[in-house]
């Protein structure tokens, strides 16, 4: 045994590829030698700058494998572009504020909602707790990034809650204010009663927000004023909105009818009579009259709940249209009754219908969506809890028709899953609808690599709704708007300095740009001298992260790094970060430009069975837990290789140690094989270089063998293809390209062709051996560099332990190497085609052999190739290699199948226009050689088991208890065998007892034999 195979120390390459141990060692190497830090120092002499801004993870959750997938893509891009010579400001960033953090702290403190929170805990302590929570998660993220090998600069991270960041975010608002794009207004917004805040329209459409819910399906009737028994028939799934009802709407162009049901007349749209009656199980009815929708306009109806909601009676005195029928085109006559009740306090279309007629909006709700005293008898009831009480009241007032339960898809809050309620509220809006054409123009120019996400992004942007940016919460960037209590004048503050200079109060030392501190500051009104108070809102957290390109940089950095070059986040960010970045950048610059050139949207990550990862299913794969026991390189390679970026990825831990391990371990073992041989022959990489298709060794020009030329040509193709696929973000195809080169081209095809040439240690063949080392060295080093972005640990390990070991003058880390470029002079497409023919024919011969159970190791006498001229020409050109690969002594090429191949001694195989025929007849010579090769293979395996390295020369090989025939056949091949297994001599023994040694049992053609080596 050699010293090295015993020794598992960190300097050498251990006999087995154990990635976890290797990664620990490399991680320490990076830290100790400050490799990441040094990598960032290249900005001064780089070939260009590629701007980057981190999509900040929200610090309210444990990093999981879905996050890791995206982070690996970012890291791949960073390492690769850096090797190409670019400078990338790959700096971290953290999204710190917003509801998710608040909700966690509320839970932690044991309070149920905002009101309890402010009463029991107080704002200052609450803010302190929010900061503690984000620091807790920050630690986990640092650990995950470190384990995963993400080379992001953590020291330069931005934090969205810091004053410096907030100030710059305010400056974007200032730009909006100056362009009249920031407005206060009453609008109907989606409101979550659980989170007690409004949501933006982007948030309402989030993946998974729509849930199957159960609601009442209610038919009710409003009596036509001044009649005894004429009613409008109406349907709703939200009975509570009858409390805020102010009008009915019909479709002006549609035909309506009066339907006689018992002693009542119901008015509804004609085309819905049958289905509605069926639904109501009413069989006896008659249509008595037909009226156009238009004619119904202006009809008054008796609102039935006036006595218990006195405010409703008051409303009638405020506007003549309250409780009358209006005509609206949005009324759908294909569902329900074609008569729609309008509650402008609870519906977007209803709201606009009231707005344009000047009808008052009745929205008697508090922050918990409970009715206020304006709702009379319903005072204090939560909106959705009022559904059945309303039904009961309608029953008492003869306004009830029927109620059932209906299951339907209804939008819920994406965070807390409460059913959303649409409410008219005072909010602040960015009127992004006014700049929509610029937004669309900018979006068209963005590179997204795949069509589907771009279409999705554009479709969403086309909605062009105003962006509701105000939130009624605590832990967020304060809206910097102060309003005069006397004259209503408004002032937007754009910096801390401006605020402190204008404050009427003395500012405490611990002042920061958060509630409650900002709320304590009042300003003096410039118009009337009155007191100005801050509007009690914080900003939508998407506005925080959307400000990042401007807010995280200084002015100078902003000029250099924005627009950024390449961003990547989950597909759900079409409505999230990709959107807010775009809108804020256009507000800031007034130009139709995005702050990013390219945005790669990733599919989401699911569990092995294709289910969404969720707390309730318990199937979330946490990054830190995963990487405690699994290799980061394997995870990285696996995730990139598994499927296209845009696909949903099913993460299956069982798959990690299969193919990905095989690929990386093949690279590892090939490198180790090369190193052992090269060191044995004292190979020095600095002595060779390639000049076109030849090799210059010191001053001697050496010709390459066809197989060498073929390998080098394939390598050039791989470099080109791989780089190209990285450029188009087809990571899975890129990884497959590398995998194919390592497993097929290098390991399965090339190495077997040259292995025997490395077997000797004769001085005459040294030049050839050195040539092979040079080829392997160049190939393996190139591949190690190509692998670096994807599997940085393994690449660094091989770089240090193989390449730097042979040439200490190399750079300190693989990351400082230049990205390989294909050399067109090494590309030889002719030889690639010839070898393709060669390998196809070889496979045919193998297939033929297999039919007759003729092992590949057994030499055979003859192969006949029946094929077109071109195929034969390629084979003839490389005949020696061909014969060696198929292990046959002679070849014959024809265009027609010869007559004599029909007999039972021949086996054949065919593919396309080629046939091969192999003679299965074996004479004593062939049999002897076959046995020798069988035995040689067993000796090789034994050498490996006992820890001999390939270069060790054995003193002797002993083989015992072969049968007499085999002993005889073998006699003339003993010398060849000795050479093949790298031994000085091979001895045969009839009985094991002839020598005293430890025998290793083996089998030859089913019979027991014994081998020993030393
Ligand atoms: Zn919610
Ligand atoms: Zn004023």
User: What mean pLDDT comes out for the span 968-980?
Assistant: 90
CB atoms under 10 Å from CB of 686, counted, come to 9
Known catalytic residue at 756: no
Taking only the tens place, the pLDDT of each residue in 313-362 is: 999 999 999 999 999 999 999 999 999 999 999 998 899 899 888 898 99
Taking only the tens place, the pLDDT of each residue in 865-901 is: 999 999 999 999 999 999 999 999 999 999 988 888 7
- Chain mean pLDDT for the chain: 93
Name the active-site residue from 30, 91, 95, 482. 95
Name the active-site residue from 44, 47, 609, 615. 615
Name the active-site residue from 542, 819, 858, 906. 542
- Cα 102 to ligand 1 centre (Å): 11
- Cα 588 to ligand 2 centre (Å): 29
What residues contact 939, with CB distance under 8 A and at least 6 apart? 957, 981, 983, 1011, 1013
Rg of the chain taking only CA atoms, in angstroms: 39
Strand ranges of the sheet holding 197-199, from the earlier edge strand across to the other edge: 197-199, 182-192, 421-430, 467-468
What residues contact 636, with CB distance under 8 A and at least 6 apart? 72, 148, 149, 790, 791, 792
> Which one, of 515, 550, 549, lies nearest residue 535 by Cα?
515
Taking only the tens place, the pLDDT of each residue in 704-715 is: 999 999 999 999
| In the chain, % of residues over pLDDT 70 | 99
The 3-state DSSP class for residue 529 equals coil
Known catalytic residue at 95: yes
> Which one, of 753, 733, 740, 688, lies nearest residue 714 by Cα?
740
- Whether omega before 563 lies within 30 degrees of 0, making that bond cis, reads yes
Q: What is the pLDDT of residue 313?
A: 95
Q: Is the pLDDT of residue 427 over 70?
A: yes
Q: What is the pLDDT of residue 7?
A: 39
Among all ligands shown, which has an atom nearest to the Cα of 531?
Answer: 2
d(CA 871, CA 894): 11
- Cα 434 to ligand 2 centre (Å): 29
Q: What is the pLDDT of residue 356?
A: 82
Q: What is the pLDDT of residue 144?
A: 98
Q: Is the pLDDT of residue 950 over 80?
A: no
- CA torsion 306-312-317-321 (nearest 10°) is -100
Known catalytic residue at 644: no
Known catalytic residue at 858: no
The angle, 0 to 180 degrees and rounded to 10, between the axes of the packed helices 706-727 and 731-740 is 170
**866, containing H or E segment:** strand 860-866
- Whether omega before 264 lies within 30 degrees of 0, making that bond cis, reads no
Among all ligands shown, which has an atom nearest to the Cα of 523?
Answer: 2
Q: What is the pLDDT of residue 616?
A: 82
DSSP state of 554: -
Q: What is the pLDDT of residue 3?
A: 37
CA 891 from chain center: how many Å?
53
User: What mean pLDDT comes out for the span 275-300?
Assistant: 95
> Which one, of 196, 31, 2, lies nearest residue 106 by Cα?
196
- φ and ψ at residue 796, rounded to 5 degrees: -65, -40
- Cα 843 to ligand 1 centre (Å): 63
DSSP state of 953: P
Q: What is the pLDDT of residue 43?
A: 64
Beta bridge partners of 291: 256
Q: How many residues does the chain have?
A: 1014
Task: Look at strands 301-302 and 888-894 and give their pairing.
Answer: unpaired
Known catalytic residue at 179: no
- φ and ψ at residue 425, rounded to 5 degrees: -140, 165
Asked if 649 contacts 643 with a C-beta cutoff of 8 angstroms, the reply is yes
DSSP of 530-552: -EEEE-S-EE-HHHHHHTHHHHS
**402, containing H or E segment:** strand 400-411
What residues contact 762, with CB distance under 8 A and at least 6 apart? none
DSSP of 248-292: EEE-TTSEEEEEEETTEEEEEEGGGHHHHHHHTT----EEEEEEE
Q: Is the pLDDT of residue 2 over 50?
A: no
Distances (CA, A) of 758 to 28, 43, 457, 949, 977: 36, 44, 58, 13, 15
Q: What is the pLDDT of residue 121?
A: 87
| In the chain, % of residues over pLDDT 90 | 77
Among all ligands shown, which has an atom nearest to the Cα of 195?
Answer: 1
Q: Is the pLDDT of residue 579 over 60?
A: yes
- Cα 427 to ligand 2 centre (Å): 21
Q: Region of 709 please: left (phi>0), alpha (psi -120 to 50) or beta.
A: alpha
Q: What is the pLDDT of residue 111?
A: 85
3-state DSSP of 348-401 = HHHHHHHHHHCCCCCCCECCCCEECHHHHHHCCCEHHHHHHHHHHHHHHCCCEE
Known catalytic residue at 716: no
Q: Is the pLDDT of residue 134 over 90?
A: yes
Our CA angle for 389, 392, 395, nearest 5°, is 155
Asked if 74 contacts 149 with a C-beta cutoff of 8 angstroms, the reply is no
Between 872 and 756, where is the model more confident? 872
DSSP of 723-773: HHHHHTT-HHHHHHHHHHIIIIIIIIIIHHHHGGGGT---GGGHHHHHHHH
Between 467 and 138, where is the model more confident? 138
Taking only the tens place, the pLDDT of each residue in 192-228 is: 988 888 887 767 877 778 888 899 999 999 999 999 9
Q: Where does the pLDDT of residue 759 fall: very low under 50, low under 70, confident under 90, or very high at 90 and above?
A: confident
DSSP state of 441: H
Burial of 966 (0-12, 13-18, 19+ CB in 10 A): buried
User: What mean pLDDT comes out for the span 13-39?
Assistant: 95
> Which one, of 722, 702, 713, lies nearest residue 750 by Cα?
713
Q: Is the pLDDT of residue 6 over 50?
A: no
d(CA 220, CA 280): 11
Taking only the tens place, the pLDDT of each residue in 718-736 is: 999 999 999 999 999 999 9
DSSP of 156-202: EEEETTSHHHHHHHHHHHHHHHHTT-EEEEEEEEEEETTTTEEE-HH
Between 337 and 919, where is the model more confident? 337
Q: What is the pLDDT of residue 42?
A: 67
- Cα 173 to ligand 2 centre (Å): 22
Known catalytic residue at 573: yes
User: What mean pLDDT comes out for the span 756-760?
Assistant: 83
Q: Where does the pLDDT of residue 44 fall: very low under 50, low under 70, confident under 90, or very high at 90 and above?
A: low
d(CA 537, CA 534): 8
User: What mean pLDDT comes out for the span 683-699?
Assistant: 90
Ion ligand 2 — residues with CB under 5 Å? 484, 486-487, 489, 525, 527-528, 530
User: What mean pLDDT comes out for the span 581-586?
Assistant: 98
Ion ligand 1 — residues with CB under 5 Å? 192, 194-195, 413, 415-416, 418
Place of tokens 């080596």: 1013
């Amino acid at each position: 045994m050699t010293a090295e195979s015993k020794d598992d120390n960190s300097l050498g390459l251990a006999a087995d590829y154990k990635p976890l141990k290797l990664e620990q060692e490399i991680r320490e190497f990076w830290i100790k030698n400050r490799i990441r830090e040094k990598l960032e120092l290249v900005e001064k002499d780089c070939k260009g700058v590629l701007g980057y801004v981190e999509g900040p993870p929200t610090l309210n959750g444990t990093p999981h494998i879905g996050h890791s997938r995206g982070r690996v893509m970012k890291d791949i891009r960073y390492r690769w572009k850096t090797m190409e010579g670019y400078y990338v400001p790959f700096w971290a960033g953290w999204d710190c504020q917003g509801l998710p953090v608040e909700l966690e702290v509320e839970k932690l403190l044991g309070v149920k909602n905002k009101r309890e929170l402010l009463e029991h805990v107080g704002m200052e302590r609450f803010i302190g707790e929010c900061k503690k929570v984000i620091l807790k998660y920050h630690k986990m993220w640092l650990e995950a990034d470190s384990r995963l090998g993400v080379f992001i600069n953590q020291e330069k991270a931005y934090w969205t809650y810091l004053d410096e960041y907030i100030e710059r975010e305010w400056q974007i608002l200032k730009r909006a204010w100056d362009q009249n794009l920031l407005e206060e207004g009453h609008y109907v917004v989606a409101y979550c009663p659980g989170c007690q805040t409004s949501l933006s329209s982007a948030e309402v459409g989030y993946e998974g927000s729509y849930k199957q819910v159960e609601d009442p399906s209610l038919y009710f009737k409003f009596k036509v004023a001044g009649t005894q028994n004429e009613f409008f028939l109406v349907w709703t799934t939200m009975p509570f909105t009858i409390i805020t009802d102010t009008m009915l709407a019909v479709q002006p162009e549609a035909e309506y009818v009066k339907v006689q049901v018992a002693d009542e007349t119901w008015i509804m749209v004609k085309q819905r009579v049958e289905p509605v009656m069926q639904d109501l199980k009413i069989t006896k009815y008659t249509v008595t009259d037909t009226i156009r929708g238009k004619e119904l306009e202006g009809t008054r109806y008796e609102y039935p709940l006036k006595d218990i909601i006195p405010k409703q009676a008051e409303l009638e005195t405020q506007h003549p249209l309250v409780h009358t029928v209006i005509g609206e085109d949005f009324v759908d006559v294909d569902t329900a009754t074609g008569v729609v009740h309008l509650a402008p306090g609870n519906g977007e279309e209803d709201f606009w219908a009231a707005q344009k007629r000047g009808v008052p909006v009745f929205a008697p709700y508090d922050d918990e969506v409970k009715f206020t005293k304006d709702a009379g008898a319903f005072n204090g009831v939560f909106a959705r809890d009022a559904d059945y009480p309303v039904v009961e009241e309608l029953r008492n007032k003869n306004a009830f028709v029927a109620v059932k339960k209906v299951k339907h898809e209804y939008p819920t809050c994406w965070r807390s899953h409460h059913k959303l309620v649409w409410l008219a509220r005072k909010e602040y809006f960015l009127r992004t609808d006014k700049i929509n054409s610029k937004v669309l123009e900018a979006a068209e120019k963005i590179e997204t690599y795949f069509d589907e996400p771009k279409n999705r992004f554009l479709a969403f942007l086309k909605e062009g709704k105003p962006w509701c940016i105000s939130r009624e919460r605590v832990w967020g960037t304060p809206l910097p708007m102060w309003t005069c209590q006397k004259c209503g004048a408004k002032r937007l503050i754009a910096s801390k300095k401006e605020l402190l200079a204008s404050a009427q109060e003395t500012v405490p030392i611990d002042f920061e740009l958060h509630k409650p501190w900002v709320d304590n500051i009042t300003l003096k009104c410039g118009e009337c001298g009155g007191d100005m108070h801050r509007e009690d809102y914080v900003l939508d957290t998407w506005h925080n992260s959307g400000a990042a390109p401007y807010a995280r940089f200084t002015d100078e950095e902003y000029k250099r790094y924005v627009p950024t070059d390449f961003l990547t986040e989950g597909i759900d960010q079409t409505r999230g970060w990709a959107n807010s970045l775009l809108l804020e950048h256009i507000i800031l610059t007034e130009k139709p430009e995005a702050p990013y050139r390219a945005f790669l949207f990733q599919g989401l990550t699911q569990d092995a069975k294709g289910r969404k990862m969720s707390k309730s299913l318990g199937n979330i794969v946490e990054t830190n837990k995963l990487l405690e026991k699994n290799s980061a390189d394997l995870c990285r390679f696996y995730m990139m290789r598994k499927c296209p970026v845009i696909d949903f990825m099913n993460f299956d831990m069982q798959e990690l140690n299969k193919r990905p391990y095989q690929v990386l371990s093949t690279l590892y073992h090939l490198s180790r094989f090369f190193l052992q041989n090269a060191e044995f022959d004292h190979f020095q990489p600095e002595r060779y270089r390639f000049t076109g298709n030849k090799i210059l060794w010191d001053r001697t020009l050496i010709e390459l063998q066809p197989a060498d030329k073929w390998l080098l040509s394939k390598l050039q193709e791989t470099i080109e293809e791989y780089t190209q696929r990285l450029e188009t973000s087809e990571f899975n195809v890129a990884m497959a390209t590398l995998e194919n080169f390592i497993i097929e081209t290098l390991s399965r095809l090339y190495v077997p062709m040259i292995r025997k040439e490395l077997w000797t240690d004769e001085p005459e063949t040294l030049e050839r051996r050195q040539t092979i080392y040079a080829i392997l060295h160049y190939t393996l080093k190139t591949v190690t560099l190509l692998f670096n972005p994807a599997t940085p640990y393994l690449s660094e390990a091989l770089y240090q332990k193989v390449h730097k070991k042979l040439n200490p003058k190399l750079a300190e880390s693989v990351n400082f190497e230049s990205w390989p470029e294909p050399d067109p002079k090494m590309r030889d497409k002719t030889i690639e085609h010839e070898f393709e023919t060669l390998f196809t024919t070889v496979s045919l011969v193998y297939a033929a052999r297999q039919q007759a159970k003729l092992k590949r190791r057994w030499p055979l006498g003859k192969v006949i190739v029946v094929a077109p001229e071109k195929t034969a020409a390629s084979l003839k050109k490389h005949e020696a290699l061909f014969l060696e690969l198929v292990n046959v002594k002679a070849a014959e090429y024809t265009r027609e199948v010869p007559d004599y191949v029909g007999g039972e001694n021949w086996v054949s195989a065919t593919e396309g226009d080629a046939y091969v025929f192999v003679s299965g007849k074996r004479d004593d010579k062939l049999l002897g050689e076959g046995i020798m090769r069988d035995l040689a293979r067993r000796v090789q395996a034994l050498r490996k088991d006992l820890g001999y390295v390939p270069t060790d020369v054995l003193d002797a090989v002993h083989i015992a208890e072969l049968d007499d025939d085999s002993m005889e056949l073998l006699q003339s091949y003993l010398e060849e065998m000795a050479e093949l297994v790298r031994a000085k001599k091979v001895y045969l023994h009839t009985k094991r007892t002839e020598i005293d040694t430890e025998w290793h049992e083996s089998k030859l053609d089913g019979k027991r034999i014994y081998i020993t080596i030393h």
